[in-house]
Structure 1
Amino acid sequence: MATLASPGVYQRATESTLHIRSKLPEVLQNPKVAIVCGSGLGGLAETIEPEPKIELAYGDIPHFPQSTVQGHAGKFVFGLLGPQKTPVALLVGRAHFYEGHTMDLVTFATRVCKVLGVETIIVTNAAGGLNPDFAVGDIVCLNDHLNLAGLVGMHPLRGPNVEEFGVRFPPLSDAYDLDLRSRTHKAWKALGFDRQKRRIHEGVYAFVAGPTYETRAECRMLRTLGADVVGMSTVPEIVVARHSGIRVLAFSLVTNCAVLKAGSRGDDPAILGMSKAELDAHLSKGRANHEEVLEAGREAAKDMQALVKHIVSDLY
Structure 2
Amino acid sequence: MHSTPSIQETADFIQGKTAYRPTIGMILGSGLGGLADELENSITIPYSEIPNFAKSEAVGHANELVIGELDGRTVVAMKGRFHYYEGFTLDEVTFPVRVMKALGVENLLITNACGAVNESFEPGDLMLITDHLNLVGSNPLIGPNNNELGPRFPDLSKVYTPELRAIASSVAQEQGVRLREGVYAWWSGPAYETPAEIRMIRAMGADAVGMSTVPEAIVAAHGRMNVLGISCLTNMACGILDQPLSHDEVIEVAARVREKFVALVKGIVGRV
> Which bin holds the TM-score, normalised by the shorter protein?
over 0.9
Q: Which residue of 2 aligns with 1:155?
A: 139
Structure 1 runs of 4+ aligned residues shifted over 2 Å read none
Find the partner of 2:237 among 249, 258, 275. Answer: 258
Q: Which residue of 2 aligns with 1:123?
A: 110
Amino acid at match of 1:43: G
Amino acid at match of 1:309: K
Asked if the contact 1:130–1:260 (Cα under 8 Å) also holds between the matched residues in 2, the reply is no
Q: Which runs of 5+ in 1 are unaligned?
A: 194-198, 262-283
1:192 positional shift:
2.8
Residue 106 (str. 1) matches residue 93 (str. 2): yes
Q: Kindly provide the CA deviation profile for residues 195-216 of structure 1, in whole angstroms up to 9, marking residues without a partner as x.
A: xxxx311100000111000000
Q: Within 2, Cα distance between the matches of 1:33 and 1:106?
A: 19
Residue 34 (str. 1) matches residue 57 (str. 2): no
Q: Which residue of 2 aligns with 1:300?
A: 257
Q: Which of the two has higher C-alpha Rg?
A: 1
Q: Which residue of 2 aligns with 1:89?
A: 76
Asked if the contact 1:131–1:228 (Cα under 8 Å) also holds between the matched residues in 2, the reply is yes
Identity of aligned residues (%): 44
Q: Within 2, Cα distance between the matches of 1:206 and 1:314?
A: 28
1:253 positional shift:
0.5
Q: Within 2, Cα distance between the matches of 1:232 and 1:239?
A: 14
Asked if the contact 2:56–2:63 (Cα under 8 Å) also holds between the matched residues in 1, the reply is yes
Q: Within 1, Cα distance between the matches of 2:111 and 2:231?
A: 6
Q: Within 1, Cα distance between the matches of 2:29 and 2:239?
A: 24
Task: Specify the SS of the correspondent of 2:270.
Answer: helix
Residue 169 (str. 1) matches residue 126 (str. 2): no
Find the partner of 2:62 among 67, 70, 73. Answer: 73
Asked if the contact 2:23–2:107 (Cα under 8 Å) also holds between the matched residues in 1, the reply is yes
Q: Which runs of 5+ in 2 are unaligned?
A: none
1:164 positional shift:
1.4
Q: Kindly provide the CA deviation profile for residues 208-231 of structure 1, in whole angstroms up to 9, marking residues without a partner as x.
A: 111000000000000000010000
Q: Within 2, Cα distance between the matches of 1:110 and 1:225?
A: 28
Q: Within 2, Cα distance between the matches of 1:172 and 1:182?
A: 18
Aligned length: 272
Find the partner of 1:55 among 41, 44, 50. Answer: 44
Q: Which residue of 2 aligns with 1:229?
A: 208
Q: 1 or 2, which has the higher strand percentage?
A: 2
Q: Which residue of 1 aligns with 2:219?
A: 240
Q: Within 2, Cα distance between the matches of 1:249 and 1:74?
A: 21
Asked if the contact 2:192–2:238 (Cα under 8 Å) also holds between the matched residues in 1, the reply is no
1:66 positional shift:
1.9
Task: Specify the SS of the correspondent of 2:77.
Answer: strand
1:16 positional shift:
0.4
Q: Within 2, Cα distance between the matches of 1:97 and 1:43?
A: 23
TM-score, normalization by structure 2: 0.98
Q: Which residue of 1 aligns with 2:194?
A: 215
RMSD of aligned C-alpha atoms?
A: 1.1
Q: Kindly provide the CA deviation profile for residues 118-149 of structure 1, in whole angstroms up to 9, marking residues without a partner as x.
A: 01000000000000010000000000000111
Q: Which residue of 2 aligns with 1:43?
A: 34
Amino acid at match of 1:54: I
TM-score, normalization by structure 1: 0.84
Find the partner of 2:6 among 7, 12, 20. Answer: 12
Q: Which residue of 2 aligns with 1:139?
A: 126
Asked if the contact 1:155–1:236 (Cα under 8 Å) also holds between the matched residues in 2, the reply is yes
Q: Within 2, Cα distance between the matches of 1:307 and 1:286?
A: 31
1:163 positional shift:
1.1
